[in-house]
Amino acid sequence: MTGTATTRAVATGTVKCVIWDIDNTLLSGVYLESGPQPPPAAPGMAAVLRELAARGIVHAIASRNPPAAAEHTARVTGCEFAATECGWGRKSDAVARIAAELNIAAGALAFVDDDPYERAEVTFALPPVLVLSPEDMADAVAWPEFSPSVVTPEARRRGAMYAQRRRRLAAERSFGGSREEFLRSCRTVVTVATAAATDAPRLHELSERTSQFNSAGEGMTEEAFRSLISSTAHGVLTVRLRDTFGDDGLVGGCVTGYGAGTWAVRLLMMSCRAMGRGVIEALLAWLARSAARQDAHVLQIPCALNDRNVPLRLALAAAGFRAAGDPGPSPGPAGAAGRAVFSLDLGGPLPVLPDWVNGPGQS
């Protein structure tokens, strides 16, 4: 290894995205100094890219090169990059912009560059990022940070899904109507269904990977999901999403229970890919209407209070849920400040369910 032990020690969890330099990293040479024939892919790097992509890890580029260099790199490596930042600013700024664009936390990023100065600059500016040299990557594919516990079909298609996301965002920016009108124009379909045992691996993966939309603040094992799916005391639901740009597959799920006039959602989780696409609002509306059909008076969602799931709590507040403190310990990881119970009174008007939502008993 080449001086990466310190940066590796501060990494937590599985890497979701690797951000690569181009010159002498993904390419064998310097793009702007190569003359009419740009450099080929660096030996072994294309294989590393493919292997990590097969595990559901996406790739991005941060390079002091023109955009043409990123296009050439994509061709010679055969890799589809989820985001590219080409320019002459600080690499840490490029990494931060990629994190924001992909909605991935810095602690779930790795940055690979041949230049020790660039590695040091990113390490100083963004301590949670796992910073590596190209030589490290041959060994890194075997590290726990690059070895998710489960790899689902959705994970293998993650790179393509980010490409679909770019096309969708571009279309939305040029669309003249409201968000709801855009969702309808691109034939958005959200399907809520009872989970099957075969959904357990993907539900486990979602519980481990989601943080911004995870009410429990922690993951749940595949075995636990299988047990809940077979239980008569709980309901486990899946949420799938598709539109004209592509099929995102299973993007969310929840675990519900009923008792004493109250529907309680033990776990609610949603992929960040569904953010801004009406899915969390649709699921909350479906839950409220389903609870009311079962003669429940209130829908409750206990929620860990941590610095990552603020978007979920904002969505709950926007949907009419009101929070009350819970004196019990937080179910979330270390660093969570506690938990609150978000409650929706079902005695008043129920939220409207869009007609592009399919689910059992929604009429």
AA letter at 202: R
| Inter-helix orientation angle 45-54/67-77, to 10° | 80
Q: What is the pLDDT of residue 326?
A: 52
Strands (E), the chain: 17-20, 58-63, 83-86, 109-112, 130-132, 189-194, 235-243, 246-259, 262-270, 298-305, 322-326, 338-345, 357-358
Three-state secondary structure string covering 110-139: EEECCCHHHHHHHHHHCCCCEEECHHHHHH
Q: pLDDT band at 330, cuts 50/70/90?
A: very low
Tell me if 49 sits within 8 A of 81, measured CB to CB. no
AA letter at 104: I
Tell me if 324 sits within 8 A of 303, measured CB to CB. no
pLDDT higher than threshold 90 for residue 8: no
Higher pLDDT, 195 or 169: 195
Number of Cβ atoms within 10 Å of the Cβ of 115: 15
Strand, helix or coil at 302?
Answer: strand
Q: pLDDT band at 11, cuts 50/70/90?
A: very low
Q: Quick one: average pLDDT of 49-67?
A: 94
Q: Helices in 24-144 by DSSP H: which ranges?
A: 45-54, 67-77, 91-102, 116-125, 137-140
Q: What is the pLDDT of residue 239?
A: 97
Q: pLDDT band at 327, cuts 50/70/90?
A: very low
Higher pLDDT, 160 or 305: 305
Q: Considering the chain, what is the average pLDDT of its residues?
A: 88
Q: Quick one: average pLDDT of 168-175?
A: 91
Higher pLDDT, 303 or 164: 303
pLDDT higher than threshold 60 for residue 9: no
